[in-house]
Amino acid sequence: MTETTMTEMLDREFLTIRGRFLDLAAAIDRFDRAEGDVADDPRWHQIQQVIEILASPNGHRAERAQLALSLNYSEDWRRIYGV
Amino acid sequence: MQFVDPHIHIASRTTDDLQAMARAGCMLVAEPAFWMGYDRSDPRSFYDYFRQLTEWEPKRTANYGMQYYAWMGINAKEAENVSFAREVISLLPEFLDRPGVLGIGEVGLHKNTRNEVLTLLTLIELAAQRNEQLLFHTPHLADKYRGTRMILDLLRADSRIVRSRVCIDHCEEHTIRLALDEGYWAGITLYPTTKATPERAADMVELYGPERILVNSSADWGPSDPLAVPHFMSVMRHRGHAESLIRQVVYDNPMKFLGQSRHFRMKC
C-alpha cells in the first residue's frame, strides 16, 4: 500500500522499539531481584516463548505471539459441550 | 475528514467526550448493548437500559450533531445464567423494531462456557428468524482465539446467516484472518493496553487490505479513548497512506456495513 523503505521504517520506528525493548528488559530484570521462583508458572513459559518468537527470523511475529499467549482450541468442543 | 465510530458505549461517556468527538469529525456512532460494569439484578433492568439506548442517548448525541444507532442484546458476561438471559432476550423484539436499532449485538462469548454458548444459540436463532444483522463480541486475552473459533463454528453451522451482515469484533492478529476468510466483517478495537493499538490496527490493514475491516474505539467505562479512530487516522497518514484508503476504513466501510440494516437512514 505504501512504498516505505526499510531505512525509512527504521527512522520511524527505532526510538519506539528502543524504548519498548528497554522497558521489557528492565521488567524482566526485576524478576532477578525478586524473591521466589516462577519457573513452573505457565505465564513465565509464555514470556520465554514470546521472546523466542521475537528473535526468530520468520514473519508474522505478532500473530505467533498472540497464539502463544492463547488457550488451545479443540475442534470437538461441540461434542464435549453437547450442543 | 469525517469518520464513523461503529462501536462505542456512549452511555459511559461524558458530554465533553461527545463534544471532542464531534470536533474531531465524528458524524455517526453506533452503540452496542453491553456489560455496564456490574451484573444487573433483574432482567427488567435491561428494559430500562434498552430504553436509555433507544430514547435518551440518541438525543444526547444529536446535541453535538452526530447520528446515533444502537444494537440490542445481552452481553456474554451476563449470559451464564441461561434462564435470566432468556428473559432478557424476550424483551428484544420490541426494541429491535424501534427506529435507530441496527440489529442484535454485542453478543458472543466471554469465558467460552457451555451456558454462554446456549444463550448465544438463542440469540443467533432470534437473529435468523428476524433477519437481523449481528455484531459479535469476541473474548478477551487468552480466551479470544478459542472463543472466536467457537463463534465461527456456530455461525458456519447455520445456513440462514448472511455473512456480509455479520461483524466479528475485537479481532486481533491471530483472529482477523479467520473472520475475513469466511466472509465476515472484522472489527478492530483500538485500546491503550489490551486489544489493538492504532499502530497494530494500521499493520493489520496493511497486511489484509481495507476490505471489510472496521476500526472502533469501543470506548466505555474502562481505560479507552473516544478519539481512538482519529488517532488511527493520524497513524495511517504518518505512514504515507492515501486519504482515500483512510476514508474507506473509517467512513465508507462502516457506512456500508451499518447501511445494510433496515433501520439505517443516512442524514446528510
pLDDT at B204: 98
User: Contact at 8 Å (CB) between B128 and B158?
Assistant: yes
Evaluate whether residue B263 is within a structural domain.
no
pLDDT at A3: 80
User: Contact at 8 Å (CB) between B108 and B139?
Assistant: yes
Number of A–B residue contacts, CB under 8 Å: 55
pLDDT bin (cut points 50, 70, 90) of residue B194 is confident
Tens digit of pLDDT for each residue in B29-84?
999 999 999 999 999 999 999 999 999 999 999 999 999 999 999 999 999 999 99
Domain hosting residue B163, numbered range:
3-258
Query: Roughly what angle, to the nearest 10 degrees, separates helices B82-96 and B43-51?
Result: 30
Tens digit of pLDDT for each residue in A65-82?
999 999 999 999 999 999
pLDDT at B9: 98
Cell 497518514 belongs to which residue?
B237
Q: Residue range B120-148: average pLDDT?
A: 98
* Positive or negative: CA dihedral A27, B194, B226, B207: positive
- pLDDT over 60 at B268, yes or no: no
Q: How many CB atoms lie within 10 A of CB B200?
A: 16
Out of A2, A60, A81, whose CB is closest to B117?
A81
Tens digit of pLDDT for each residue in A39-62?
999 999 999 999 999 999 989 999
pLDDT at A1: 67
Rounded to the nearest integer, the mean pLDDT of chain A is: 95
* Side chain identity, residue B19: Q
User: Contact at 8 Å (CB) between B250 and B27?
Assistant: no
Chain B residues whose CB is inside 8 A of the A6 CB are: none
Interface test with A, best of B178, B194, B239 (most A CBs within 10 A): B239
Chain B residues whose CB is inside 8 A of the A1 CB are: 205-206, 209, 241, 245
Class of residue B268 by CB neighbours under 10 A (exposed 0-12, middle 13-18, buried 19+):
exposed
Chain B residues bordering chain A (beta-carbon distance below 8 Å): 114, 117-118, 121, 141-146, 149-150, 153, 172-175, 200, 203, 205-206, 209, 238-241, 245
Percent of chain B with pLDDT over 90: 97
Domain range annotation of chain A: 1-36, 38-83
Please give the residue that has the higher pLDDT: either B206 or A4. B206
Q: How many CB atoms lie within 10 A of CB A33?
A: 6
pLDDT at A4: 87
CATH number of the structural domain spanning residue B161: 3.20.20.140
pLDDT bin (cut points 50, 70, 90) of residue B193 is confident
Total domains in the fold of chain B: 1
Evaluate whether residue B233 is within a structural domain.
yes
Contact A70 B146 (CB under 8 A): yes
Evaluate whether residue B218 is within a structural domain.
yes
pLDDT at B5: 98
- pLDDT over 70 at B218, yes or no: yes
Rounded to the nearest integer, the mean pLDDT of chain B is: 97
List the single range of A10-14, B112-116, B149-153, B178-182 with lowest mean pLDDT.
Answer: A10-14
From B173's Cα to the closest Cα of chain A, the distance in A is 5
- pLDDT over 60 at A34, yes or no: yes
